[in-house]
Every structure is written in C-alpha cells, then in structure tokens.
Amino acid sequence: MKLSDLTDGTRIAFGNVGDFASDLVSPSLRLGVTGLSRAGKTVFITSLVHNLIHNGRLPLFTPHARGRIKRAYLEPQPDDDLPRFAYEQHLKTLTGSDKTGSDRQWPQSTRRLSQLRVTVEYTPQGFFARNIHGGKLHIDIIDYPGEWLLDLPLLNQSYEQWSTATLATSTKAPRDKLAKNWRSFTQTLKPAEPADEADAVKAASLFTDYLASCRDDEFALSSLPPGRFLMPGDLEGSPLLTFAPLKLEAASKAPSGSLHAMMQRRYEAYVDHIVRPFYVNHFARLDRQIVLVDAMTALNAGPQAIGDLKTALSDILASFRQGENSILSSIFAKRIDKVLFAATKADMLHHHSHDRLENILSLIIEDAANRAQTTGAGFDVSAIAALRATRETTLEHKGESLACITGIPASGEIIGTDKFDGTAQAAIFPGDLPQDPAAALNGSLQDTLHFVRFRPPVIKAAKPLQPAPALPHIRLDRAMQFLLGDHFQ
C-alpha cells in the first residue's frame, strides 16, 4: 500500500462520515450516471427527471405505481463547486422550441462533470422515516464522462508502465494504422536528451490526434486513456495535457532536465491534479451507478469495436468500489452496492431482439460482471431506451415478415442505397441479431446488421387542463426500480 492510498482513504472516509450524518436527517442517494461518449447519458438523465417530475408511465417503478410518490421537484444541488446539469436546456433541445418541434434534436454531448438534485416526497413506511425525515429523498444525479473512469487505473501506474502499455496497444490492428504518424515521430525522440518544449507539444498533439481518430464512427474504439486528452475543457494547452508516451529502455532512469523527466513530471501532475481529485471528491462517494453502453454503434462498426468496448468496460469496472454496504462501511468507505449496465438506444431494434441485445451486452461486460458478483454488489443488465424515438411494426417483404421499427431517421443516415434527409418517415429492418452473442465478437456478423439513428420523437403538447405528457421510454421504469426502488422506505 502506498502512502497516497492511505491519505486518499482517509479523505474519502472523512467525506463519507459527513454524508452519513446528513443522511440521517435528510437522506440522499448519489446516483452516478456514466458511459463512454455518445452513450446517451444526457438523454437518460433528462428523461429520468422528466418522468419523475411529470408523473410518467412507470408501472415497474413500484413506489410510483403504488401511488406513494407525492411529488418530485428540482432543488439546488448540495455541491456548489460543480456545474449544474442543464436539464431545462437539454429538454428544450430534445423537444424543440416551438409547438411542432421541428427543430428538435439530440443534445450536444457534455464533456464535464455535472450534478442535479431531484427531491422526491413520498409516503414513508418505516417508523424512522415517518418520524425523523418525513418521507423526503434527495436523489443527487452525478453525470460524468466514462472516459474519466479509464483514467482511474493511472492512479496505480507509473509513467514508465503507462508508456510501455500505451505503445504496446498502439501496435495492434486497427490502431496501428491510426497511430503511424505519432509512432514514427516518437521513434525520433531521445528521452535522455535535454527537454525541448516544441518536441513535447508536437508529440502530445500527434498523440491526441491518434486518440481522436480511434474514436471516429468507422472504428468506434473506446479504450483511450488519458480521458482529458479528448475532452480537455479549459485545460487545453496547459502543461498538464502536454505529455505523451515515450519509447523507453527497460529500467532506464530519468536524468534530471531530460525529456523523459519532463514527461514523467507532467504525467504525475495529471494524475495528482485531475485524476485523484475526481476520484476522492466525487467518484468514491457514489451509492448507485448506472453504466450506459452504446452497443449499437459498436455493432455497426464491427468486431474490433466490440472487443475494444469490452476492454474499456472491464477497465472501468476495475475501478468501482462495489460491495454490500454495512452500517460501518457506509460511514467510512462507501461502496457502490448496485450497478446497472444498460444497453441504450434499444428503440433502434424491435423488442423481440432485446433479449439478444442483453445477451451481447452480458458478454461484453462478462469480466466486469464476474468481479461485481464476487464483491456482493447487486448487478443487472437491461436493454433500455431513455427516450423512445420509434414505434414497432411488422411488414411483409418478399414473402417473409420483418419485425421493423418506424421513425424518422436522422439526416445523413444511409442504409443500403437509401440516404435519409431527416424529414421522411421510414420503416427500418436492421437485420437479425445473432442468437449466439459470441458471433458479435468473432466477426461473422459482417454486413448483416445496420442500426440507423433516428431523430427524437415529436412530443405531443399537453391537452388543455391536463398535465404535460412525460417522455416515452423503454424499460426506464425497470432501471429506476433497480437503482432507486429500495430507498423509498
């Protein structure tokens, strides 16, 4: 155990003691929402909050279905130093600004941590709940990019270890082609020579380009640490992000003033100033976690993307503090006691295939799941659509019946020879998902599947004197029951 582990542990414990004390009087639940970029985090949170506030159709969310939830509303969040999740703005983007919703679109991806507090008033059941806090639960939703989780393993890696590992992965297909520019430049650098800032900047920018190209739709790779290189925010250009792996001799020491020493120092600064504060202040205090996975885009891109997603999710899971909470452990070291893996955008697929989608997701997170189960954390896999953009239909085509979905495909989507303009409605048959999920990894699915992105659905305006309809969804209620249901005591 390193000293930093010890001090981190102490700081987390102090934070948790504070949480425990305030939970006694006004209970709160910290729900972490994460996923790699474009997995649908923003839409998920928006739809969850909207359905809670607007009394959505949630038959499987028991407290709601039994009529025990009196009302839900947004409140100022507890952490003043975090940006607020821009719920109203995202909702407006999704539903469009006018009545017909002609300019509705999916929200821009968020690139930073944000928080939103929903307070739910409900009819309490227990003695304690009735008399002490009177049936009020604060749900603090913490939204953070999954890429940041990929940084957490860096806490335990030295610069040399990280450098070697990153160089090794960059030689594997399909990364080798994308990394060519950066690697050839790295070969020319001499780590033991005195540092030159221009070299460092060039290496870092080539490295960033390589990471960015890996993320393109065509390849859809996921395992790309360090995460801030792709979403720098206001750190862009700072020395914290101006480092790159170097080709190092085994067991070489960094002479002071050398390029190696500079890179090492910046790497350590990155870990200390970016990774560790996130871990201690936010991540280690979560109660529940939902990991959103966009299996559709990966399936579109092919087996390499699926394989990479699998690696990334295993890495992510390695960092979770899972396990059953006991009273003592919840005071000192909070652990995530329930994790839900959700394959999002299930509305791109007929519900007959949802089982198979869940099977594929189960295979992708296999390693992660095994870990979660041995630590005693509750664990579930579900195919959901936080905002359902399609309807289902069965069409007859060349003598066979096809389970199709209809909706308005996003502009620029292509299937076969058809290109969509974003206004025409179409029925899409995306192909059969394999019965054996292993087929998704071994490449036998080539060209048999294609999922199309749809535009958000038109939300009908409220009828006079009636409450506004909540956003339509698939299995959002099931996810809510799993993540929140047991806290309404």
- Per CB under 8 A, residues contacting other proteins are 57, 59-60, 62, 65, 351-352, 354-355, 393-397, 399-404, 406, 409, 415-416, 418, 420, 424-435, 447-450, 452, 474-475, 478
- Smallest gap from Cβ 363 to other proteins, in A, equals 15
* Cβ proximity to other proteins, 318 vs 403, nearer residue: 403
* Comparison of 259 and 474: residue with beta carbon closer to other proteins: 474
| Beta carbon nearer to other proteins, 256 or 435 | 435
Min dist CB 417 to other proteins, Å, is: 9
Q: How far is the CB of 385 from other proteins (least distance, A)?
A: 9
Under 8 Å CB-to-CB from 273, ≥6 apart: which residues? 240
CB of 418 to other proteins, least distance (A): 5
Q: What are phi and psi of 154, to 5 degrees?
A: -65, -25
- CB of residue 224 to other proteins, shortest distance in Å: 28
Burial per residue of 57-91, b for 16 or more beta-carbon CB atoms within 10 angstroms, e otherwise: bbebbebbeeebbeebebeebeeeebeebbbeebb
Query: Between residues 62 and 213, which has the closer beta carbon with respect to other proteins?
Result: 62
Nearest partner of 486 among 333, 324, 349, judged by Cα:
324
In the complex with other proteins, the residue whose CB is nearer, 210 or 482, is: 482
Cβ of residue 335: shortest distance to other proteins, in angstroms? 24
Please say whether the beta carbons of 211 and 223 come within 8 A: no
What is d(CA 485, CA 323) in angstroms, rounded to the nearest whole number?
Answer: 18
CB of 413 to other proteins, least distance (A): 9
Least distance (Å) between residue 256 CB and other proteins: 59
Nearer to other proteins, 59 or 237 (CB): 59
Q: Which is nearer to other proteins, 212 or 395 (CB)?
A: 395
Taking Cα atoms as reference points, which of 228, 262, 245 lies closest to residue 185? 245
Instruction: Give the E-state strand segments of 273-361 in sequence order.
Output: 288-293, 338-343
* Contact indicator for 66, 485 with CB cutoff of 8 Å: no
CB-based burial label for 24 (10 Å; 0-12, 13-18, 19+):
exposed
- Closest CB to other proteins among 56 and 145? 56
Contact 455, 105 (CB under 8 A): yes
Decide if 76 contacts 117 (C-beta within 8 A). Answer: yes
> Taking a C-beta distance cutoff of 8 angstroms, is the pair 86, 151 a contact?
no
Asked whether 29 and 139 are in contact (CB, 8 A), the reply is yes
Rank residues 53 and 403 by Cβ distance to other proteins and give the closer one: 403
Nearer to other proteins, 255 or 443 (CB): 443
Asked if 231 contacts 167 with a C-beta cutoff of 8 angstroms, the reply is no
In the complex, minimum distance from the CB of residue 302 to other proteins, in angstroms, rounded to a whole number? 14
CA distance 471 to 432: 28
Burial per residue of 251-273, b for 16 or more beta-carbon CB atoms within 10 angstroms, e otherwise: eeebeeebbbbbbbebbeebbee
Cα 158 from chain centroid?
26
> Shortest distance, CB of residue 393 to other proteins, whole angstroms?
5
Provide the minimum distance between the beta carbon of 340 and other proteins in the complex, in angstroms, as a whole number.
14
Read out DSSP for 198-235?
HHHHHHHHHHHHHHHHHTSTTT-------GGGTS-GGG
Contact 29, 138 (CB under 8 A): yes
Burial of 286 (0-12, 13-18, 19+ CB in 10 A): buried
Q: Which is nearer to other proteins, 113 or 361 (CB)?
A: 361
